[in-house]
Amino acid sequence: MSSVKKVVLAYSGGLDTSVIVKWLQETYNCEVVTFTADLGQGEEVEPARAKAVAMGIKEIYIDDLREEFVRDFVFPMFRANAIYEGEYLLGTSIARPLIAKRLIEIANETGADAISHGATGKGNDQIRFELGAYALKPGVQVIAPWREWDLTSRETLMDYCKEHDIPVDYSKAEKKSPYSMDANLLHISYEGDILEDPWAEAEDDMWRWSVSPEEAPDKPTYIELSYEKGDIVAIDGKAMSPATVLEYLNKVGGDNGIGRLDIVENRYVGMKSRGCYETPGGTIMMKAHRAIESITLDREAAHLKDSIMPKYAELVYNGYWWSPEREMMQVMIDKSQEVVNGDVRLKLYKGGVSVVGRRSEDSLFDEKIATFEDDAGAYDQKDAAGFIKLNALRMRIAAKKGRTFV
């Protein structure tokens, strides 16, 4: 007899998690609590309630987490300028620690013994969910059905639904996109089907948030982003909440063909995976944030941030958001952002984002020193000679000893 009496399931209301509800009830003879998160995925989440009720679920959580997601997860990550393997803006990765956090909170509220998720045993999400869960509740039991059951395809899942009278719209399930997709306010991802061949070009009608650069307007769009302590607080002079900022940038970016990405990445489980991503708002945010930092951050502070960024991004990608090392790095990053205030003007045009202006009361750019015109003695060019000789000293000594490299 199972020791698990109650399980909190991350529930979308789709085919996979609907099967998981019934499978948990039958396999573990337990009560299931469903949790559905609205992270701005662009799909109605409320129908999940009706589906859960139809399956006999008594405790149903449907939470609007959009503001928390952007404020407490996306914005801190963008303060770090985090990019995984030089390209990926971590759209799926950054949503998982919030889902794990809420799963544990609900488990504590309802007295559940375990949590469950629909991530497969081949992917990164199982790691992200479970590392987060264990960090927040060390003794929690995690049930991952894809690592336990013998259901291996959409067809077997649909057969299971028919056998167990699970309410599923079969016509919709059969017409489902051939791609495995994940969406939230930061991005939408596509994997599977023809994308499993890294030589095959993605079909243009696959993309949902953006027009192709070729079809984008022939006239550029200009926008102005205002920053306070590294976060965007207004667009074109209008104050906006974190989630509203990202919603707006997704729209204006998508309209201008911005944010499409096609990469092969290294999963934490060891395999390479080809994926396509749409991140219009995030692409704009990354460009603009580096621009405002370029005039407000001290050189060595900026370079130190850049040096730790790959490690920070790797921690987020691999599921270590709740680790002490990520939190330590965040403290340093956030300290650097105290002076990252001001405005950035951008030009959006046919898939490209160009910085065309930046200004700040905290700017370290000194026109009197940087000018190519007469600087009225603000910078003594003769000082450069000694500076260069001192920095060349070790190389001059080595060269005298014959240690040349030509």
Is residue 96 part of the annotated active site? The answer reads yes
Is residue 182 part of the annotated active site? The answer reads no
Instruction: Write the DSSP assignment of 324-384 as a string of letters.
Output: HHHHHHHHHHHHHGGG--EEEEEEEETTEEEEEEEE-TT----HHHH-SS--TTSS-TTHH
**Marked catalytic residue, from 71, 72, 180, 375:** 180
- Give residue 301's Cα distance to chain centre: 24
Cα 190 to Cα 207: distance, rounded to the nearest angstrom = 9
Are 76 and 334 in contact by the 8 Å Cβ rule? The answer is yes
Tokens of 314: 């790797």
Tokens of 103: 């799963």
Which residues 6+ apart lie within 8 Å of 19 measured at CB? 145, 151, 157, 160, 161, 166
Taken in order 259, 65, 18, 22, the sign of the CA dihedral is positive
C-alpha torsion 36→39→41→46, nearest 10 = 40
Is residue 343 part of the annotated active site? The answer reads no
Q: Tell me the C-alpha to C-alpha distance, in Å, between residue 3 and each of 7, 29, 109, 196.
A: 11, 9, 19, 40
**Marked catalytic residue, from 66, 79, 96, 102:** 96
**Marked catalytic residue, from 113, 125, 182, 231:** 125
**Marked catalytic residue, from 16, 255, 262, 334:** 16
Is residue 16 part of the annotated active site? The answer reads yes
Name the pairing type of β-strands 60-64 and 31-38.
Answer: parallel
Could you list the active site residues?
A: 16, 96, 125, 180
